[in-house]
Structures are given as structure tokens and as C-alpha cells.
Amino acid sequence: MTDEVDSQKRALRAEVRERRRTRTSTRRDHDAEAITQRLEELTERLGATTVAAYLSLPDEPPTREFVHWAHERGIRVLLPVSREDGLLDWAPYDGDDEVEDVVGMPTPMTELLGPIAINDADLIVVPAASVDRGGMRIGWGRGYFDKTLGSMDRCPPVYAVIFDDELVDSVPRERHDMPVNGVVTPGGVIDLDTSRP
């Protein structure tokens, strides 16, 4: 990657990380409820029966309530398990205990399915630092989701979960960056025009 784009991405990630860290708990609780509701609406609108999602960390837009909701409804939820080689394995959520994967992210203790298990998903919910109006997304810098999405031949709808102020006009981009079809924010589900240059 070019150093220029790399450092722009780093700066943007640091900004988002800092903003997330300093959100008030009132704001956080309000956003948590709204995001859960939006994710449920989206899942119902798409009639998804298998959803790929992730277990949020405390500062991330919360996905845990949604994961519980889906599991309780009999929707199959696949969660990522980071691998040393930069790919993601997937593990089905079973409502039970979690452990940390090789990069310290929360993950279930259930059976490990390989990277191609994500092909079963009819909705993919991904983390992001920021997304622009053309659907270009910046993640947390290891390329896990770019590689995963880039390897799929028939990709279902992909939505990033972000806070409202993380949807921006444009993000620095590189050739390997994969667009998302929309974002889920406390303010609503927004479908994006990925054909925008």
C-alpha cells in the first residue's frame, strides 16, 4: 500500500477510536438500543436465516443484544475467529461462554468452521471504523474482512455497524478495499450506492 494512504487510514482509525472511547454512558445506552432494533429490522427485512456477525468490544457499536436475539429466534449466527494467516474461521454462536482469539477478540468456544463457512450467510454484519457514501469501508487494519469478502464468489448483503458520525463523504481507499451495501447506525439502516466512483 502507499505510505500516504496508510497514514491517512491510521489517523482516521485513531480519531474514531478516541471518539468512541469518550462517548458518555447515556449516549452509549441510547445508541445500543437503537442499533439492536435496526439490526433486527434489517434481518427481518432480508428474511435472513444465517447471519455472520461479531461480538462487540465495550467501545464498539454494540452487537451483542442482536446476536442473542437472533440466536433465540433460531437464526444461525456465525462469528469470526481470527487466524494467524490473516483469514477468518467461523464458529456458530450457541449462547454460551466466550474466549479470545489470537488477536484478543471475543469468540465463542464452539466448533471451528473454516473460512468458507461464511458462504452460508444471507446477511453479513461487519465492524468498521468509518464508511463513506459510496460504501467504501475502513476497518481496523489487518485486512481480515477485505480478504474474507474478496474471496466470496456470491456475496450476500454486507452491512457495517457504525455510529452516525462515522458515515463520511469519503475515506482513503486502496485497490483491495471491499465496499459494503449499507450501514447500520443508531439513526437507521442506510443503503449505499456502491457504483459511486
Contacting positions for ligand ATP (CB under 6 A): 1, 9, 138-147, 150, 174, 176-177
Using the rule CB under 6 A, is 56 a contact of ligand FFO?
yes
* Cβ proximity to ligand FFO, 3 vs 74, nearer residue: 3
Choose the contact partner of 54 out of ligand ATP, ligand FFO, none; CB within 5 to 8 A by kind: ligand FFO
Choose the contact partner of 177 out of ligand ATP, ligand FFO, none; CB within 5 to 8 A by kind: ligand ATP
Burial 95-123 (b: 16+ CB within 10 A, else e): eeebeebeeebebbebeeeebebbeebbb
CB 45: neighbour CB atoms within 10 A? Answer: 11
Closest residue to ligand ATP, based on beta-carbon distance: 139
Using the rule CB under 6 A, is 40 a contact of ligand FFO?
no
Sheet holding 158-161, edge to edge: 88-92, 76-82, 50-52, 123-127, 158-161, 182-185, 188-191
Choose the contact partner of 10 out of ligand FFO, ligand ATP, none; CB within 5 to 8 A by kind: ligand FFO
